[in-house]
Structure 1
Amino acid sequence: MDQRNLSLSHVEARPQTARRAVVIWLGVVFGLVFLMIMVGGLTRLTDSGLSIVEWRPVTGAIPPLSDEAWREEFAKYQTIPEYQIQNRGMTLGEFKFIYWWEWSHRFLGRLIGAVFLVPFVIFWWRGMIARALGLRLSLLFLLGGAQGALGWWMVMSGLTERLDVSQYRLAAHLGLAFLILGLIVWTILDLLRGEGVARALKESRLAPFALLFAGLVYVQILLGAFVAGTDAGLTYNTWPLMDGRFIPEGLLTMKPWYVNFFEDVTTIQFQHRMTAYLVGLSAIGLFTALWRAGPSRRTMIAASHVLGASLLQIALGIWVLLAQAPLSLSALHQAMAVVLFTAALWLAHELRQPLQLAASPQSRSA
């Protein structure tokens, strides 16, 4: 059977069944990555990220199972500056609370690796995954491994001299998480796009702007990581002004000038606010332009989700700021960032011209 010039959606000789299975599997992986981002955010918000001071990729999956093991873990934590300066006097029970957050975050990473790798090998062996898709999924697996190493590199920054992790490494860790999430979303959308729909779609003149908007949302997420990493959200808890001024005093006071964008809390919060306004205005502009262009119903549904998620995220950000970043609202703000980023990718995918890829191998079970 000649399978040349088929799209990525054709994953085996019986494409519908195989495609559905792969989409469900990747959907589960997406859900787990979403959950891990949320648990990671809560780990940060509860100051739990430095509670495990060792990186044991295999044996670390087993938590302390005895009182002696718990005391040993607590003793290790007591050697780092966070305990000695900030948490001195913490009880074993209080330590267990922060330990379980960090352990859960790491355990989810291991679980995602297993949930990804085992079905991937099975699907590949059965010939259900095309070569192009297989290469993309292999890249995803490598990025997942790199994310684990990057997470430990981030933790290391808070074990010697600092009381928390480096905001630079925190942003890198979160940025890679969203990159992985985005690649999963894009792959699922590729697989869900049917052959008939792909043939009917034409490249929209607004496609580059939709992709740029998704990039803008990604940048805003990174800026949010710097807000979290420097506790910049606990300052200037007023809106729309900052200390009575739209442009606050104290911007760009550090030298060299460029470090202000990453280390000065005033500048960090100001740039996060301004970028949020830019996201909102861009979402409104993109929606209006699409409305006038008269696109398909699916495209307008995606655009509506982007607009709604953008405005809701801005409102949540203002609420978090005014409430001085309580745990529940901060977590909801981070969850909404995932929703907005996913919606932005959905819209960009709807507008793009589908790329024709190589044929898949035939099923070995055939």
Structure 2
Amino acid sequence: MAEKRKLFEEVMTDQRPRIPKGAITRARKAWRRAIRGWLVLLFALVVTMIAVGGLTRLTDSGLSITEWKPITGALPPLSEAEWQAEFEKYQQIPEFQVQNAWMTLEDFKPIYWWEWSHRQLGRVIGLVWALGFATFLIARRVPPGWNRRLLWIGALGGIQGAIGWWMVSSGLEGTMLDVASYRLAVHLGLAFVILGFIAWYVMLLGREERELLQARRERHDKLFHLGTGWMHFAFLQILFGALVAGIDAGRSYTDWPTMGGQVFPPDPFMIEPVWRNFLENPGLVQFIHRMTGYLLFLFSVMIFLRARRASNRVTSGAYTVAFIALCGQVALGIYTVISAAQLHVALTHQLLAVATFVLILRARFHAAYPLPQSVRDAR
């Protein structure tokens, strides 16, 4: 028998438990932290990828694998017969025939492992991105407006894989003993673009949306635009550095501040047609890299002096840290030349380029979204 209702009982009372608003907010923050952590992992993997790529180039290992097999290539040779087959493929390309004909199978294995590790790390990055993005998408925990951003990173990673093979294929036939330097520059440049987007997204997710909206009202427009120009200028210098690395131009002239005892390198236009000298002439390519470095340094001094007058101490400090990193990079670049681009020095130079680029990006972010400060802290 049904229980009788009381006279004044609310018939339409909602019996569902109410979730406190604070619990929803905490859950959203937790998912933002999870996505941010995933992006930090991707950031670390991309930095590692750049380092391994640099070592692959510095050890002349980039052409050791002559086929592009995104899936089946994940397995290295597992038998002596498979190793011999890979070595025979390498023996068909100009690098071996002209430069490395002395190699035996045992000499070939170390350079193969460098290139295989580079490609395998690319596969790991793609897998980490795919699994992470799918997890957040299925759980419907991607913040509003972030689907396209996270998908964009994956798309760039896919393009990077194709460009990597486009780069390698340039050294497999004809008279090339290395990959084309301009293709190497495109490959490295896109790696920095991917790294830049990831770093920017990590910084955005480190602040609440309402905090970002409030911070934009205090935006330092002048410093932000200067930071944008600084970022692009540093990126251009990184591309020139890739051209230097692509043809080993860093080892062509090891005196400083002169080049071969003079300001302008000897025979800067000896290659025909003339335009090829800007990509393939070691003296001219290194000269351009040096001159751009000097101009970047002068531009950085101007930005540093301008940032010192900023009212927000955190923003000013971010520009100062980036400027110090750039000064260190200039000094290390000079030492890299003097040391004839020794492997460990050249690799450190490349990694400091990563740090400098990210710190410039961080300074730009603080100009766009200044942290709040008390009146006492303001200048």
SS at match of 1:213: helix
Code of the aligned partner of 2:357: F
Alignment pair present for 1:243 and 2:260: yes
Task: Encode CA deviations 1:143-172: one digit per residue, 9 max, x unaligned.
Answer: 101111110111111011211101111111
1:290-301 paired onto structure 2 within 5 Å: 290-294=307-311, 296-301=312-317
CA distance in 2, matches of 1:182, 1:200: 21
Task: Encode CA deviations 1:302-350: one digit per residue, 9 max, x unaligned.
Answer: 1122111101111111111001011100110110110011011111111
Alignment pair present for 1:344 and 2:344: no
Aligned to 2:207: 193
CA distance in 1, matches of 2:272, 2:84: 44
Alignment match of 2:239 (pick from 208, 222, 247) = 222
Code of the aligned partner of 1:181: L
Task: Encode CA deviations 1:52-96: one digit per residue, 9 max, x unaligned.
Answer: 011111010000111111111111111111111111121111111
Specify whether residues 250 and 197 from structure 1 end up closer, same or farther in structure 2 by C-alpha distance, changes over 3 A only: same
CA distance in 2, matches of 1:128, 1:257: 55
Specify whether residues 99 and 244 from structure 1 end up closer, same or farther in structure 2 by C-alpha distance, changes over 3 A only: same
- C-alpha contact 2:230 2:360 (8 A) present in aligned 1: yes
Residue 210 of structure 1: how far off its partner (Å): 0.6
- C-alpha contact 2:32 2:143 (8 A) present in aligned 1: no
Quick check: 255-264 or 202-211, which moved more? 255-264
CA distance in 2, matches of 1:287, 1:267: 30
Residue 30 of structure 1: how far off its partner (Å): 0.3
Percent of pairs identical after alignment?
A: 46
Alignment match of 1:276 (pick from 293, 316, 323) = 293
Specify whether residues 132 and 271 from structure 1 end up closer, same or farther in structure 2 by C-alpha distance, changes over 3 A only: same
Task: Encode CA deviations 1:161-218: one digit per residue, 9 max, x unaligned.
Answer: 2111011111111111111111111111111133335403422122111110000010
Alignment pair present for 1:89 and 2:106: no
Residue 39 of structure 1: how far off its partner (Å): 0.3
Alignment pair present for 1:182 and 2:201: no
Residue 131 of structure 1: how far off its partner (Å): 4.4
Residue 353 of structure 1: how far off its partner (Å): 5.7
CA distance in 1, matches of 2:173, 2:275: 26
CA distance in 1, matches of 2:205, 2:189: 24
Aligned to 2:133: 120
SS at match of 1:128: coil
CA distance in 2, matches of 1:223, 1:165: 15
Residue 253 of structure 1: how far off its partner (Å): 5.3
- C-alpha contact 1:283 1:306 (8 A) present in aligned 2: no
CA distance in 2, matches of 1:287, 1:243: 33
Alignment match of 1:262 (pick from 260, 276, 279) = 279
Aligned to 2:69: 56
Structure 1: any 5+ residue segments left out of the alignment? 1-10, 355-366
RMSD (Å), alpha carbons: 1.8
Aligned to 1:309: 325
- C-alpha contact 2:254 2:338 (8 A) present in aligned 1: yes
Residue 256 of structure 1: how far off its partner (Å): 5.2
Structure 2: any 5+ residue segments left out of the alignment? 1-23, 371-379
Count of residue correspondences = 343
1:165-180 paired onto structure 2 within 5 Å: 165-180=179-194
Code of the aligned partner of 2:241: G
CA distance in 2, matches of 1:100, 1:248: 37
Give the number of the structure whose alpha-carbon radius of gyration is greater: 2
TM-score (norm 1): 0.89
Aligned to 1:7: none
Code of the aligned partner of 1:185: A
- C-alpha contact 2:310 2:316 (8 A) present in aligned 1: no
- C-alpha contact 2:212 2:369 (8 A) present in aligned 1: no
Aligned to 2:20: none
TM-score (norm 2): 0.86
